[in-house]
Amino acid sequence: MRSMGSRTWLIVALSLALTLVVAACGGAPAPTPTTAPKAAEPTKPAAPAAATAPAAPAATKAPATAATPAAAAPTAATKVSLPPLKSDKSLWPKAVSVGTASMGGTNYIAGGALAKVFEKMGVQAAPEVTGGSIQNPQLIQSKQIQFANIAQGSAYDAWNGTGWAKSKHTDIRSLFGVLPQWQHGWALAKSGIKSYRDLNGKTASGGPAGGTSDLYLKQFTELLGIKLSKVSAASYADTTGLLKDGLVDAVSTSAGVPHPSAAEIASTQDTVVFGFTPDDVKKIVEKYPSQAAGQIAANTYKGQTQPVDSVADWVAFFCHKDMPEDFVYEFVKAVFENKEMLVSVHKAMADTTEANVKTVTLPMHPGAYRYFVEKGIPMSPLAKPVQ
C-alpha cells in the first residue's frame, strides 16, 4: 500500500514538473487554435475594402452621365436590325393635306415646299392654312390632315396632354427636324423699341390667336413681367399694314428666319429687329426647357447689323401614325434628295438636314425611323417608335 502511494506521488510530481516546463517555454500550444480564428480577423480589414464601396456609386454615376451624351446621339441605335420593308403602293394615299400656319409665315412657306415633294412622288398635296403648332396636332389626331409642321414645345404638350392640350394626342408621329423657330420681333425704328422689355405698355401682334407665336408672346412677356396694353390677333400677311398704320407698335413671332413679313417691311421701312436681354434669355430657358438660347445672325434682315439674342424651338414634320410605312420611308428619302429645291423656296430650310434628326424628341413613324437607321444617322432615344 505504501509502495503504491509512493508511485502515485511520483507520477503527480512528474506531471507537475512537466506543466511548469511547458509554461516556462511560452505557454501551452493548445490555445493557439482558438487564437487562429482571431488572427483571421485581419480579414476584417477587408471591411476597409467595403470602405471603397462608396467609390462604386461614384463609378456608376459616371457611366450614367457619360451615357447621356451618347444617348442624345446614340450611334448604337442606328445598328438596329429591321425586318425587310414591305412595299405596296396600292395602299398609298392619292392625296394628302399638309398643315402649316398663318399665311405669310415661315411655316406656311416651308409646308408648301414639303408639299412639292409629295407632288414629285405622284401624290397630290395641298398646304393648308391653319392656326399653327397648337391646332396642327389636333388636326392630325382627328385625321383632318395627314402631315404638318409642329413646334416641338407644342408637340410635347399635345403628346402628354399638358399645357394647352386637354387630352393626349398619341396618334401623331415625328419624321425629321425642319427648322429652328426663333422668337423675335420687329418694329419701326422711330418707336424706340430695342428689346421685348420695351414692349411694356405697348400694343403687339403675335400673329393669329391660338398659334404658337401668340402663345409664346403671352407666356414670355408674363414670365418677364412685361405688361402689354393689347395683343392684336392678325395674320402675318396683315401685320405689315397694321405696323405702317400705327395700329400696333410691334410684331412678334416664333418662326424660321428670315420671316417673310419682317423681311418685307424691312425692305421698305426703317425698322428694328429685336430679341431679349441675356438675363431674360436665361429666365426663359430655365422656365421652358424646349427653348434653346442662341443668336439670330447679323444681316438676317436688311439694316440688322448686329446679332440678336433670343431663344429657339425646333419645328419637326409630323404625320398620323396610320400612314403606310413604305410611303413615309419614300417621302423622307425624297425630302433629302430634293434639298436644293427646299432651300430655293425658303433659305431657313437649309437646316432641314439628315443630321438634324437629332433634334427630334418625340416618337417617330416607323418609316422615317427606318430611313435614318439604314443611313446610320444618330437619333435621340426619345424618337424610338412606339406602338
DSSP string, 299-335: TSSTT--S-EEEEEEEEEEEEETTS-HHHHHHHHHHH
Q: Is 246 helix (H, G, I), strand (E, B) or coil?
A: coil
Q: How confident is the model at residue 338 (pLDDT cuts 50, 70, 90)?
A: very high
As a dihedral over the C-alpha atoms of residue 368, residue 332, residue 255, residue 97, rounded to 10 degrees, the angle is -100
Q: Where among 312, 334, 358 does a domain terminate?
A: 312
Choice between 21 and 92, residue whose per-residue pLDDT is larger: 92
Q: Where among 291, 312, 333 does a domain terminate?
A: 312
As a dihedral over the C-alpha atoms of residue 268, residue 270, residue 271, residue 277, rounded to 10 degrees, the angle is 150
Which residues 6+ apart lie within 8 Å of 231 measured at CB? 203, 204, 205, 206, 214, 217, 218
Is the pLDDT confidence value at 335 over 50?
A: yes
Say which range, 14-18, 82-86, 283-287, has the weakest mean pLDDT.
14-18
Q: Is residue 20 part of a domain?
A: no
Listing DSSP states for 78-112 in one string gives GG---PPPP--GGGS-SEEEEE--STTSHHHHHHH
Q: Which pairing describes strands 147-151 and 308-320: parallel, antiparallel, or unpaired? A: antiparallel
Straight-line distance from the first to the last Cα atom of the chain, in angstroms, rounded to the nearest whole number: 106
Share of the chain above pLDDT 90, in %: 72
Is the pLDDT confidence value at 56 over 90?
A: no
Is the pLDDT confidence value at 30 over 50?
A: no
Domain that holds residue 294: 181-312
Q: Is residue 92 part of a domain?
A: yes
Residue 216 sits in the same domain as residue 255 = yes
Residue 71, burial from CB neighbour count under 10 angstroms (0-12, 13-18, 19+)? middle
CA distance 166 to 190: 42
- Among 65, 66, 69, 114, residue whose Cα is nearest residue 358: 69
Q: How confident is the model at residue 14 (pLDDT cuts 50, 70, 90)?
A: very low
Residue 280 sits in the same domain as residue 338 = no
Q: Is residue 56 part of a domain?
A: no
Residue 220 sits in the same domain as residue 120 = no
> pLDDT at position 83, please?
86
Residue 171, burial from CB neighbour count under 10 angstroms (0-12, 13-18, 19+)? middle
Residue 296 sits in the same domain as residue 327 = no
| E-strand stretches of the chain | 95-99, 124-128, 147-151, 172-188, 203-205, 230-231, 250-255, 271-274, 292-296, 308-320
Q: Where among 264, 287, 312 does a domain terminate?
A: 312
> pLDDT at position 68, please?
22
- C-alpha cell of residue 131: 392656326
Q: How confident is the model at residue 79 (pLDDT cuts 50, 70, 90)?
A: low
Is the pLDDT confidence value at 1 over 50?
A: no
The alpha carbons of the chain give a radius of gyration, in whole angstroms, of 36
Per-residue pLDDT tens over the stretch 31-48: 333 333 333 333 333 333
- Interval 116-138 mean pLDDT: 96
Q: Is residue 42 part of a domain?
A: no
Q: Which pairing describes strands 292-296 and 308-320: parallel, antiparallel, or unpaired? A: antiparallel
Choice between 144 and 211, residue whose per-residue pLDDT is larger: 144
Listing DSSP states for 282-296 in one string gives HHHHHH-TT-EEEEE
Q: How confident is the model at residue 82 (pLDDT cuts 50, 70, 90)?
A: confident
Between the alpha carbon of residue 68 and those of residues 65, 195, 354, 360, the distances in Å are: 5, 35, 21, 16
Q: Is 127 left (phi over 0), alpha (psi -120 to 50) or beta?
A: beta
> pLDDT at position 90, please?
95
- Interval 47-63 mean pLDDT: 30
Share of the chain above pLDDT 70, in %: 80
How many domains, in total, are found in the chain?
2
Q: Is residue 374 part of a domain?
A: yes
Residue 307 sits in the same domain as residue 319 = no
- Interval 9-25 mean pLDDT: 40
Residue 221 sits in the same domain as residue 152 = no
Amino acid type, 14? L
CA distance 109 to 289: 27
Is the pLDDT confidence value at 58 over 90?
A: no
Mean pLDDT taken over the chain = 83
Q: Is residue 23 part of a domain?
A: no
Choice between 24 and 293, residue whose per-residue pLDDT is larger: 293
Domain with residue 228: its CATH number is: 3.40.190.10
- Interval 224-234 mean pLDDT: 96
Residue 260 sits in the same domain as residue 368 = no
Amino acid type, 89? K
Q: Is residue 55 part of a domain?
A: no
- C-alpha cell of residue 323: 400612314
Residue 257 sits in the same domain as residue 323 = no
The total number of residues written for the chain in this structure: 387
- C-alpha cell of residue 129: 392654312
> pLDDT at position 387, please?
83
Q: Is 77 helix (H, G, I), strand (E, B) or coil?
A: helix
- Interval 58-82 mean pLDDT: 38
> pLDDT at position 78, please?
45
Please check whether residue 383 is in contact with residue 360, taking contact to mean a CB–CB distance below 8 angstroms.
yes
Q: Is 187 left (phi over 0), alpha (psi -120 to 50) or beta?
A: beta
Q: Is residue 35 part of a domain?
A: no
Per-residue pLDDT tens over the stretch 271-324: 999 999 999 999 999 998 888 899 999 999 999 999 999 999 999 999 999 999
Say which range, 3-7, 102-106, 316-320, has the weakest mean pLDDT.
3-7
Choice between 87 and 77, residue whose per-residue pLDDT is larger: 87
